[in-house]
Amino acid sequence: MFNYTKIDRLGIITLDKSPANSYDVHFFNEFETILNTIENDKDVAVVLLKSGIPKFFCAGADIKVFASNTVEENNKMVAMANKIATMISSSSKIFIAFLNGHTLGGGLELAVACDIRLASNKKFLIGLPEVKLGLMPGNGGIPRLVNAVGHSYAFEMVISGNPINSEEAFRIGLAHKLYNVETAEQEALEYAKNLSKGPKIAMATIKQTFAEGVGKRTQDFLQLETKMVKNLYDTFDAKEGFQSFIEKREPKFE
């Protein structure tokens, strides 16, 4: 269901569960094992989450399994989906989702749990269609979508259940980069590799500062930022950053 590889400081998780990367409890059990491995790997700074299936990033829950499950079984699966999304959003690693196929329901909830989203301009659908099944997103999709695109766009997407394309996702800020389909996979990989060369401690601290600060009063956010940056002044990476700037060379972060 998954392939995990490493390139220096970049971890690459490839979803590979035909036909649509639809998830169930077994999917999440394997996913959790990989995420724990990554979190404990001090070498990894950035993780790229992508699909090995051409037509789909992830279609969310397996509807046939969901329909045949008991309520208790479905509650367990939703709890696991929430756990995985929280592990991604709270990880000390920077997670990048590369969207190059249909990204629907729980698939989009996984994507918005990531810190950065890259997309190709291939024709595919992105959305939260749960309302069309008489349901609503339940894996963190609503608050994280609001954080990504704002209340107005998020509400319309969720209340209508209508999907958008990648160009619209880029326009409203859901996708941070939009690449031409012919070169998208390579450009996404290069983006992730370049980001992974950055200072791990500083990047993890930035992620934590955003996570804790967004939604606070400006004064409280400023105080948080001041507290967090103090932890970086005496690190090897900060010293290397200054030294490399003076010597006019590329930094070699720890």
Query: Which domain CATH number covers 141?
Result: 3.90.226.10
Domain closes at, from 159, 180, 196 = 196
212 and 130 fall within a common domain? no
| pLDDT above 90: residue 242 | no
| pLDDT above 90: residue 184 | yes
In a domain, 110, yes or no: yes
Span 202-223, pLDDT tens digits: 999 999 999 999 999 999 999 9
- CA 32 – CA 170 distance, rounded (Å): 29
CA 42 to chain centre: 19
211 and 191 fall within a common domain? no
User: Catalytic residue positions?
Assistant: 109, 130
Mean pLDDT of the chain: 95
67 and 177 fall within a common domain? yes
% of the chain beyond a pLDDT of 70:
100
Question: How many domains is the chain partitioned into structurally?
Answer: 2
Please give the model's pTM, rounded to 2 decimal places. 0.95
Span 121-158, pLDDT tens digits: 999 999 999 999 999 999 999 999 999 999 999 999 99
Structural domain boundaries, residue 223 = 200-246
115 and 192 fall within a common domain? yes
